[in-house]
Amino acid sequence: MQTPYAPVRPLREAYHSTAEFSGYVKHCGPTAVTNLLLSLLPAPPPAKALFRKVAELGRQKLVYVNRNLPLGLGGTSDALTGPYLRAALRMCGLTGVQIGLRRPLTERFARAALGRGSLLYIQLRRHRKYGSHHILCYGMEPDGSLRLADGWAAAPVRLPVKDLGLAFCLELRFPGAER
């Protein structure tokens, strides 16, 4: 899709919402991945075109199921998000982004990772507002709240880590971006 490009940090922040991508259900994962790619690509394609490719990649890899299944199943697999992110980055020719292991999200870890210039791909579980949901974190504000692309608002959302409840994350590192 693109020529190899090694980002040292995001070029911009993208805040697209699931409402922009009709014909899909439980598509917060592909939306978060699309926001990530739009942040990193030097000349990104239109969001809807990129989203369709990202969702199709998820379906091909059996990571994303565009269905509401019984017992609340469907959507993006938490366990397979790391390989999904790697495949999406590769699809766009983005090299040099390191993806850490899935781990519980704590304020201490968020501060350390974001302080290194990383991004966080966050997986919420049973959140009071979002339910089970995937979001992208671009940074931490001076008051300690996270600056999120939550996939619902087409603008930054700010929430303290403690308000995320049970959450897991993958750290996206950009070698050479350490502050």
Domain end point (choices 91, 113, 133): 91
User: Is 145 within a domain?
Assistant: yes
Say whether 4 sits in a helix, a strand or coil: coil
pTM of the model: 0.92
Tokens 């899909």 sit on residue: 24
pLDDT given for residue 67 in this prediction: 67
Percent pLDDT > 70 in the chain is: 89
pLDDT tens, residue by residue, 138-168: 999 999 899 999 999 999 999 998 888 889 9
- Mean pLDDT, residues 51-71: 84
Structural domain of 125: 98-173
| One domain for residues 128 and 169 | yes
| Inside any domain, residue 6 | no
Give dist(CA 158, CA 145) in Å, integer: 6
User: Could you write out the three-class secondary structure of 28-95?
Assistant: HHHHHHHHHHHHHCCCCCCHHHHHHHHHHHHHHCCCEECCCCHHHCCEECCCCHHHHHHHHHHHCCEC
* Same domain, yes or no: 22 and 77: yes
Count of structural domains, the chain: 2
Burial status of residue 43 (CB atoms within 10 A of its CB: 0-12, 13-18, 19 or more): exposed
pLDDT at residue number 178: 57
* 107 and 137 in a common domain: yes
Which among 91, 122, 140 is the end of a domain?
91
Query: For residue 75, what pLDDT band results from cuts at 50, 70 and 90?
Result: confident
